[in-house]
Amino acid sequence: MNGTMEQNVLKLEFSGHIDSSNAPAAEAEALAQIEAQPHEGLILDCQDLTYISSAGLRVVLHLRKLEPELKLVNVSSEVYEILSMTGFTEMMPVEKAYRTLSTEGCEAIGRGANGTVYRIDRDTVVKVYHSADCLPDVQRERELARKALVLGIPTAIPYDVVRVGESYGSVFELLNSRSFSKLIAADPDGMDTYVDLYVDLMQKMHSTHVKPGDMPEMKGVALGWVEFLRDYLPPEQAEKLVALVEAVPERDTMLHGDYHTNNIVMQNDEVLIIDMDTLCVGHPIFELASMYLGFVAFGEVDPNVTLSFLKLPHETAVRFWKKALAKYLGTRDPEAVRAVEEKAMVIGYARLMRRTIRRDGFHTEEGRANIELCRTRLADLLPRVDSLTF
């Protein structure tokens, strides 16, 4: 029996057919490994395990008595079935092995920065990631999407994670949908309809409460952005910026975190949200700030940025933002809308400035122009904005 240590966790490989004839030997071997290697946790890797009888199950039970945190991974469907029927899957963590999927002959229907999407059948697609290192991110996104789905947020079903060649893929429900960006680009005069649908869904999301710990807290992330700027802003501005973010109350409100018109799609008459990896909780001002960034600030220096990002002319994006904000706030009073917009701008420009600096912005002309824009805007806004909440 192979045993390997990784981060103080001992992994033992269970393989072949474990029944009454070899279970005692397997147990003795496992115990010898456990004795020999000091460890904090134990994992049974069942990748090559094809069958386990009741005698084998008793070995697992015995090991679990010694190691209450015992976990089984890479379990084949056949062995999982046995573990499930005998109630073992209820007693201890059991992770199924990933299915292997081939995309040969499948139609590639989308290519993104980190993966390619293939249609596998009538109802499902698989997003194959370019790098196998992204598995933790893939699982995090799926987990967030699952939580949102159970809370009633319309999004595609994340099915399972699969092995595709040397990399991983995530299987999703296929949506026959068009993004709001495309719908607006095709019908700019119909914008108001899309504004209404877009804001309805945002309000549904923002009236959803999330259990503590289920999603990351946005305020902490935003504090990271503004702390970063201490080295780049005059001290009194940096001080005020940090104090403003610190004063934002914590909330259990669900936020999307990247709520722009590429991520809102329409299928028949349903409006759905995709790209759930940025889901978080927090005060809605953080959502508005990220929207301001996407619709307005990204394309201020170079409007072509908006065109390539949202496939919308910058002025159309700005118009959409202003309408959406007014609708969200439920007011037509331009001053009331402007006041909230300025709060969103404070966080939006802070984030853009940090982002640009971290992406080597001081060394490109466009980067320097963006940093200068953020500096100017923050210098103008910070003295008069006294709270980020509304």
Partner 1 sequence: MNVIKESSGSQLTLRIQGRLDTTTAPQLETELKASVEGVTALVLDLAELAYISSAGLRVVLMAQKIMNKQGTMVVRNVDPNVLEVFEVTGFSDILTIE
Residue numbers of the site for partner 1 (CB under 8 A)? 123, 146-147, 149-150, 152, 154-160, 173, 176, 267-270, 272
Strand pairing report for 264-267 and 124-129: unpaired
Query: Considering beta carbons, is residue 148 or 229 the nearer one to partner 1?
Result: 148
Kindly state the smallest distance separating residue 173's Cβ from partner 1, in Å.
6
Strand pairing report for 9-18 and 115-119: unpaired
Query: Considering beta carbons, is residue 167 or 267 the nearer one to partner 1?
Result: 267
Kindly state the smallest distance separating residue 49's Cβ from partner 1, in Å.
22
Kindly state the smallest distance separating residue 91's Cβ from partner 1, in Å.
17
Instruction: Write the CA distances from 196 to 33, 294, 296, 305, integer angstroms.
Output: 63, 19, 19, 25
Kindly state the smallest distance separating residue 237's Cβ from partner 1, in Å.
45
| Cross-strand pairs, 10 | 5, 42
Query: Considering beta carbons, is residue 153 or 378 the nearer one to partner 1?
Result: 153
* Cα 336 off chain centre by: 32
Kindly state the smallest distance separating residue 105's Cβ from partner 1, in Å.
23
b vs e for 81-112, b when ≥16 Cβ sit within 10 Å of the residue's Cβ?
ebbeeeebbeebebebbeeebebeebeeeeee
Kindly state the smallest distance separating residue 147's Cβ from partner 1, in Å.
7
Query: Considering beta carbons, is residue 78 or 270 the nearer one to partner 1?
Result: 270
Query: Considering beta carbons, is residue 152 or 213 the nearer one to partner 1?
Result: 152
Query: Considering beta carbons, is residue 121 or 360 the nearer one to partner 1?
Result: 121
Residue 270, classed as helix, strand or coil, is strand
Query: Considering beta carbons, is residue 149 or 369 the nearer one to partner 1?
Result: 149
Kindly state the smallest distance separating residue 159's Cβ from partner 1, in Å.
6
Kindly state the smallest distance separating residue 162's Cβ from partner 1, in Å.
12
Query: Considering beta carbons, is residue 152 or 249 the nearer one to partner 1?
Result: 152
Q: What is the side-by-side order of every strand in the sheet holding 3-6?
A: 3-6, 9-18, 41-52, 71-75, 94-96
Query: Considering beta carbons, is residue 148 or 238 the nearer one to partner 1?
Result: 148
Tokens 């008793």 found at: 58
How is residue 306 annotated by DSSP? H
Kindly state the smallest distance separating residue 77's Cβ from partner 1, in Å.
11
What do you get for the CA distance between the two ends of the chain, in Å? Answer: 62
Q: Which of 139, 15, 130, 21 is nearest to 75 (CA)?
A: 15
Which segments within 250-302 are labelled E, that is strand? 254-255, 264-267, 270-273, 280-281
Contact 115, 106 (CB under 8 A): no
Query: Considering beta carbons, is residue 10 or 153 the nearer one to partner 1?
Result: 153
Kindly state the smallest distance separating residue 124's Cβ from partner 1, in Å.
10
b vs e for 211-223, b when ≥16 Cβ sit within 10 Å of the residue's Cβ?
eeeebbbbbebbe
Half-sphere exposure of 323 (CA within 13 A, CB side): 17
- Distance, CA of 241 to CA of 285 (rounded, Å): 14
How is residue 119 annotated by DSSP? E
